[in-house]
Amino acid sequence: MSQRVNYNQQSPEIVHSLMEISKQLSKSEISQTLRDMVNIRASQINGCAFCIDMHVKEARIHGERDLRVHHVQVWRESTLFNAQERAALEWTEAVTKLTAEGISDEIYNRVKEHFSEKQMSDLTLAIGLINQWNRLSIAFRAVPGSADKFFGLDKAGMN
């Protein structure tokens, strides 16, 4: 597989803006662990190999246990996630798989038990951002691992 378009080169100002949003989200009340799990789960749902590769490596660099990363896809059955992480993963699925009916009050009410309004807003922005990155990477066939050196992901020791 080869990349169709290098969106970093073709739209550098916009890509830079997306990266700035990511920097701002790293300063939010949403923990790095939650952001890693959200990024992995949305990327799994969307089938984005580039982003799964990137965010699994990031999670490892951030100290996440391998088994938890492997369990992200089956979080509902796993005992490795606490209530807040489960809520974040449920919200990730709901926001990523939007339907014509939207997101039910039942899901929203379950998730808001674990997050303030500010945290809900930041979490939803983080989910929206990873979905945007997924769409770019899938549309233009970004090659998994091709940006490891640029992002420092070679430090994960997974190549």
Domains delineated in the chain: 12-145 (1.20.1290.10)
Quote the tokens at residue 99.
């339907």
pLDDT on residue 77: 98
Amino acid at 53: D
Given pLDDT bands bounded at 50, 70 and 90, which one contains residue 59? very high
Place of tokens 């990363």: 69
> What are the tens digits of pLDDT across the range 8-32?
999 999 999 999 999 999 999 999 9
Judge whether residue 1 has pLDDT over 80.
Answer: no
Q: How far is CA 22 from the centre of its chain?
A: 11
Judge whether residue 159 has pLDDT over 80.
Answer: no
Judge whether residue 139 has pLDDT over 80.
Answer: yes
Q: Which of 112, 92, 111, 94 is nearest to 103 (CA)?
A: 94
pLDDT on residue 148: 87
DSSP-H helix ranges across the chain = 7-10, 12-26, 32-46, 49-61, 66-71, 83-96, 105-112, 117-139, 148-151
Amino acid at 45: I
> What are the tens digits of pLDDT across the range 93-115?
999 999 999 999 999 999 999 99
What is the mean pLDDT of the segment spanning 28-49? 97
Q: Whole-model pTM?
A: 0.95
- As a whole number of angstroms, the distance between CA 60 and CA 105 comes to 34
